[in-house]
């Protein structure tokens, strides 16, 4: 591909996208490659110039990843650890210090530490492979472009390299898709209502409808989302219609019959959630129904928060707006397997007592973390108790946050910025359009709040932009991420 004489636009984009990576292309029998196959067969609209690279499950070059042992041998940090652990001439004290922190298993170096009552074996990632891990744990379909904290937590649970938080933060901060699609600040809302926290899984469930979205080829226009309030486990399905029957069917088949009947159901006042048909259905299963009042939408903050993650994820993954329903279950997986802000644990681990295996782990052959508790019941009840306490703490923190005003942003001439996307492209759904446009450069400051901006090649933009509609754009410094030995 890189040597084709007259490549078309699509191939050029591919070549550009692949340039930062060290990779080998290998032929793999279709039978052995069904994972990527299912994605490559998604009906992508060929004419959409925006649609770019199809999304791969585990990251660009993961299926051709170099052998971890050999890569570690070529890596100075892993090599240093290996030497200390294996060298007989090194002092006992020094060896003791390092062997408490690192271990060699099957000839692969791991960092070991205890977290959440678990012995974590984090595979030491050689410098040459850091960008692969970052891609597969942030950009890939099963990763869902989560924020710095979540990405860090997902990675640190499985992998290690020196100064990893720094590199993850700079990678996520400079992710173009994230910058274009995520809302940077939340305006303070009304007063927050602190609700009682469930102490059992699937005791309290929040339900919400998202949409209407652009109609997909499968006629879907809505997403229905159910969130367990303790574990934050999410179940979501695309829906063509949102009648009360559709809602009831989803709840029965995808939630109640899978996870048990909840005691309490929290919804907003949407007519398809609180109709007579719904009420009868809830009653039939002995479920107490709570309407979260319009004045205090935060009382159901969990589903609302999730809707934002889902919306951001969908925007990041698809400019091809008529196939968004193909991505939902991947995003739900990304969400359920990444650490939640409120519980400090992944919904998956709170439900099953272990972390999910990610595609990239399988490819690298990483060994599993080991629970320090004697049995799974003890592990789970302790994990859930911790989660409940953490939710309580986060409620208090969130309440505080709502009182805090936004800090004032200011920009200087020469700064790179993104501008709020106020244009509405015909035929494109507002919810799935990029939230920001750019990057642009600040050309002149007309006042503290008003800025004249130009495109990167210096072409002036006619509009004067108010500071409220700007946010800083952060460039990715490729050096340090794709540094090779």
Can the peptide bond before residue 212 be classed as cis, meaning omega within 30 degrees of 0? yes
- Which residues of the shown chain bind Zn ion in the complex (CB under 5 A)? 145, 175, 177-178
3-state secondary structure of 206: strand
Return phi, psi of residue 123, to 5°: -65, 130
Q: How far is the CB of 316 from Zn ion (least distance, A)?
A: 6
d(CA 438, CA 445): 18
Torsion over CA of 283, 288, 294 and 299, rounded to 10 degrees?
Answer: -150
* Interacting residues of 194 by C-beta distance below 8 A, sequence separation 6+: 395, 396, 399
Beta carbon of residue 177, minimum distance to Zn ion (angstroms, whole number): 5
User: What is the maximal distance between C-alpha atoms in the chain?
Assistant: 79
CB of 17 to Zn ion, least distance (A): 14
Q: Cβ of residue 9: shortest distance to Zn ion, in angstroms? A: 23
CB 106 → Zn ion: shortest distance, Å? 33
Nearer to Zn ion, 317 or 411 (CB): 317
CA distance 260 to 202: 7
Question: Torsion angle of alpha carbons 152, 238, 295, 263, nearest 10°?
Answer: -90
Task: Using the minimum distance from each CB to Zn ion, give the nearer residue, 147 or 301.
Answer: 147
In the complex, which residue's CB is closest to Zn ion? 175
Report the interhelical angle of 301-317 vs 328-337 (nearest 10°): 120
Shortest spacing between CB 169 and Zn ion, in angstroms: 12
Task: Give the N- to C-terminal CA distance of the chain in Å, as an integer.
Answer: 25
Q: Which is nearer to Zn ion, 145 or 471 (CB)?
A: 145
* Nearest of 132, 130, 137 to residue 333 by alpha carbon: 137
Least separation, in Å, of the C-beta of 136 and Zn ion?
A: 12
Least gap, CB of 341 to Zn ion (angstroms):
17
Tokens of 330: 């991947």
Nearest residue (CB) to Zn ion, 45 versus 176: 176
Residue closer to Zn ion (CB basis): 175 or 350: 175
Three-class SS string for 158-184? CEECCCHHHHHHHHHHCCHHHHHHCCC
- State how far the Cα of 353 lies from the Cα of 384, in Å rounded to an integer: 9
Q: For Zn ion, which is the closer residue by CB, 178 or 287? A: 178
Comparing CB distances to Zn ion, the nearer of 55 and 332 is 55
By beta-carbon proximity to Zn ion, the closer residue of 125 and 334 is 334
């Amino acid at each position: 591909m890189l040597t084709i004489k007259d490549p078309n636009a699509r191939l050029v984009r591919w070549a550009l996208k692949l340039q930062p990576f060290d990779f080998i292309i290998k032929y793999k029998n279709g039978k052995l490659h069904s994972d990527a196959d299912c994605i490559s067969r998604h009906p992508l609209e060929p004419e959409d110039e925006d649609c770019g690279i199809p999304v791969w499950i585990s990251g660009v070059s993961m299926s051709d990843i170099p052998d971890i042992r050999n890569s570690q041998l070529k890596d100075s940090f892993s090599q240093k650890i290996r030497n200390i652990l294996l060298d007989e001439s090194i002092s006992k004290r020094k060896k003791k210090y390092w062997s408490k922190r690192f271990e060699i298993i099957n000839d692969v170096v791991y960092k070991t530490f205890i977290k959440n009552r678990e012995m974590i074996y984090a595979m030491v990632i050689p410098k040459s492979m850091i960008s692969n891990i970052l891609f597969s744990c942030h950009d890939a379909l099963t990763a869902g472009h989560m924020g710095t904290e979540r990405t860090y937590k997902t990675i640190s649970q499985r992998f290690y390299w020196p100064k990893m938080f720094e590199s993850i933060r700079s990678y996520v901060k400079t992710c173009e898709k994230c910058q274009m699609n995520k809302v940077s600040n939340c305006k303070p809302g009304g007063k927050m209502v602190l609700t009682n926290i469930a102490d059992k899984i699937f005791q309290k469930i929040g339900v919400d409808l998202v949409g209407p979205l652009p109609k997909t080829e499968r006629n879907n226009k809505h997403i229905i989302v159910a969130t367990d309030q303790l574990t934050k486990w999410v179940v979501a399905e695309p829906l063509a219609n949102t009648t009360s029957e559709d809602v009831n069917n989803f709840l029965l088949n995808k939630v109640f019959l899978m996870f048990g009947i909840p005691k309490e159901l929290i919804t907003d006042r949407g007519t398809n959630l609180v109709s007579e048909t719904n009420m009868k259905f809830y009653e039939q299963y002995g479920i107490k129904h709570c309407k979260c009042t319009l004045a205090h939408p935060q009382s159901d903050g969990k589903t609302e928060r999730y809707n934002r993650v889902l919306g951001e994820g969908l925007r990041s993954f698809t400019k091809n707006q008529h196939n968004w329903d193909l991505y939902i279950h991947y995003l739900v997986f990304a969400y359920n397997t990444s650490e939640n802000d409120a519980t400090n644990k992944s919904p998956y681990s709170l439900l099953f007592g272990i972390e999910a295996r990610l595609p990239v782990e399988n490819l690298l052959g990483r060994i599993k973390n080991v629970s320090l508790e004697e049995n799974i019941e003890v592990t789970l009840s302790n994990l859930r108790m911790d989660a409940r306490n953490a939710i309580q703490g986060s409620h208090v923190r969130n309440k505080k946050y709502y009182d805090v005003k936004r800090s004032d942003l200011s920009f200087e001439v020469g700064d790179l910025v993104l501008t709020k996307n106020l244009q509405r492209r015909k035929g494109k759904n507002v919810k799935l359009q990029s939230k920001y446009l750019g990057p642009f450069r600040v050309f002149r400051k007309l006042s503290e709040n008003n800025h004249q901006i130009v495109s990167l090649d210096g072409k002036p933009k006619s509009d004067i932009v108010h500071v409220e509609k700007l946010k800083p754009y952060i460039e990715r410094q490729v050096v340090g991420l794709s540094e090779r030995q």
